[in-house]
Amino acid sequence: MQQIAGLLQFVSQVFPCGKAFLHRLYDATQHAASVRRQIGRETQAELTWWCRVLESWSGTTVLAPSLLLVAHIWTDACPRSFGGYLGPASNPQAIFTTETPRRHRTKNIRFLEALAVLEALRRFSPLWGTPRLVVVHVDNANVEHRLRSGRSRDPLTQRLIREIYSLCFTRNITLRPVCVSTSDNVLADLLSRRRFRCIESSFPQAYIQPAVLPLGTRTNHCHPPPGFATSLAVSPAAATLLWHGLASSTRQRAGGSPSAFHAFCMRKFGFGTSCFPASSTQLLEWLAHLSASGRSFHTAKHVLGALWSHHVDLGLDVTSFGCSHLERALRGYKHLHGVHRTGSKLPITLPLLRRILEAVSGFADLYPRDCLVFQAAFALAFACFLCSGELIWGPNSDPATCLTVSSVEWERDHAVITLPASKTDPFRQGVKVIAPEVGGIECLAARLWQLTSGRPPSEPLFGLGPSSMATFPRATFISTLKRIIQAVGLPAHSYAGHSFRRGAATWAARNGVPDPVIQSLGHWNSDCYQRYIDQSTTKRRALAASALFSVRDGPLVPDRPAWRDPGTG
């Protein structure tokens, strides 16, 4: 047992998370005897954890500080509640505050402080896609020491420390606890005591929406994370330009690729291998690893693109990404795995739109005004060739990209809607779409007039609930649409938020609208609009018949110039 504990202690030098899983092994070796001794249940649990981890571990450093980013977390706790925030107190990126569960309110403050750290890591770690050095600021010296050493004499606190270290292991976090004075931890103290009025007066940036603050976490993607400019050795202004060169959604989707590539290089080429910038051999082996794992061709392209973007952020050489070996390997990848195509969603044409709008009012669980909101949103998506993402908004949405009542301007026989953010307008210049008065249930102008009459210009155009201020998230939009589709008697899984845009293009083509007009109505900048037009079987049959079988007589052997390239013999 002493040999096992000694070896695992040596392993923990390159595997910091293992320090929290040595406490029971040390206790088991304190009273060593020459005879056999029974191993306790908790000691067995630690050994089981080590076996499970070591079987999947390559033997290199698992946790290393990020090459790019450092995150700072501030937490505090009191018997009835605890809270914390991410980033500087003057402009926090995310905050949380929650009540202490009743079963924990009688426990000591060390346990509660550790519980606050665990909750902060659970809430904030989904915001990070890449490995991070996380500096945790606490105002309890005892807790700071326990987090640093990974050991606590209190068994309940030790259990929390194990949870913290396990979370750091699974989410590629290097933990660095720091003890600060109470005067430097004011915002976390106010959050832990839920003193929202003091937060509003002293830290207005942390109190953007009072109704949301007590319930959960708020995020701010408008600024680069702390440490971004310092890591690149550039000014904050230059770092801001680099950060906004990619959309926040793109960074979120691509965040895990660099860490996965780094871990692969450590396993494949050994500890100490430099993988940033990546060499052509490393990229080729990484592609082979993805192929052996059964990843699709599009996934492999996405991963390589995310890795290239990470190199651009770091200012590293990207020559290896354009080498001929990698291009040929990608072509071979495509030949071996093929191109996975997802099932196309069916279009929502005008007849189906009318049925949908009629069926909305029949749902008893929707407020009458919510029915009007969904009718206006569905009609707007069809009439203006929009995607669902151009209509929805959530608690973390940028207010500058949300449709408001002021986005609608009225003319004599139509309405003009200004889209602050659109798929076809990546630089947010603003896109104006027209809602004509056409009469009938599908008249978008009439729906918008009912929806905007008597409302302040700053209110969201599509707001749910009795106050018309509740969010209009994508999940609600899609789930309600699928319920209505199913009520109409059609398969709900065959339709999505994109069906309105596809249906508008398809319906216009069926009515003989020229292709350039469809391209203009949908604000397409290329000929990709043709992919949105679903040709009916009848039209395809007519095209094939007229192109191939309209003339049935002719020479058995065509004239040579008619079927061979000019100049060939």
Q: What is the pLDDT of residue 24?
A: 59
Query: What is each CA distance from 190 to 163, 175, 186, 187, 329, in whole angstroms?
Result: 26, 24, 6, 5, 56
Q: Which residues pair with 44 in a beta bridge?
A: none
User: φ and ψ at 273, to 5 degrees?
Assistant: -70, 135
Q: What is the pLDDT of residues 460-493, one digit of tens each?
A: 888 888 777 888 888 889 999 999 999 988 998 8
Whether residue 210 is predicted with pLDDT greater than 60 in this model: the reply is no
Q: What is the pLDDT of residue 111?
A: 92
β 218-219/94-99 pair status: antiparallel
Whether residue 2 is predicted with pLDDT greater than 90 in this model: the reply is no
Mean of the pLDDT values across residues 211-224?
A: 43
Q: What CATH number was assigned to the domain covering residues 70-230?
A: 3.30.420.10
Q: What is the pLDDT of residue 77?
A: 93
Three-state secondary structure call for residue 134: strand
Whether residue 253 is predicted with pLDDT greater than 70 in this model: the reply is no
Per-domain residue ranges of the chain: 2-55, 70-230, 248-337, 350-508
Q: Cα-Cα-Cα-Cα dihedral of 472, 475, 477, 483, to 10°?
A: -140
Q: Residue 479: which residues within 8 A CB-CB, separation 6 or more?
A: none
- Residues 378, 451 contacting (CB under 8 angstroms): no
Whether residue 208 is predicted with pLDDT greater than 50 in this model: the reply is no
The DSSP H or E segment spanning 336 is helix 324-337
CA–CA gap between residue 265 and residue 283 (Å, rounded): 9
| Cβ contacts of 521-530, under 8 Å, gap ≥ 24 | 521/385, 522/385, 522/424, 523/385, 523/422, 523/424, 523/425, 523/431, 523/433, 524/424, 525/424, 529/505
Q: What is the pLDDT of residue 565?
A: 54
- Residues 160, 110 contacting (CB under 8 angstroms): no
Its pTM stands at 0.54
Q: What is the pLDDT of residues 286-340, one digit of tens each?
A: 899 888 888 888 888 888 888 888 888 878 888 888 888 889 998 998 888 877 6
CA–CA gap between residue 305 and residue 199 (Å, rounded): 42
Between these two residues, 17 and 279, which has the higher pLDDT value? 279
- How buried is 369 (Cβ within 10 angstroms: 0-12 exposed, 13-18 middle, 19+ buried)? middle
Q: What is the pLDDT of residues 431-459, one digit of tens each?
A: 788 888 888 888 888 888 988 888 888 88
Residues in the chain: 569
- Residues 297, 334 contacting (CB under 8 angstroms): yes
Confidence of residue 137 (pLDDT cuts 50, 70, 90): very high
Q: What is the pLDDT of residue 113?
A: 93
Hey, what amino acid is at 167? L
Which of 534, 98, 119, 88 lies closest to 344, judged by CA?
A: 534
Same CATH topology for 70-230 and 248-337?
Answer: no
Q: What CATH number was assigned to the domain covering residues 350-508?
A: 1.10.443.10
CA–CA gap between residue 98 and residue 193 (Å, rounded): 9
Domain 248-337, classified CATH 1.10.287.130, yes or no: no
Q: Which residue has the tokens 């099932």?
A: 343
Whether residue 185 is predicted with pLDDT greater than 80 in this model: the reply is yes
Q: What is the pLDDT of residues 501-550, one digit of tens each?
A: 888 888 888 888 888 887 788 777 766 666 666 666 666 667 666 666 66
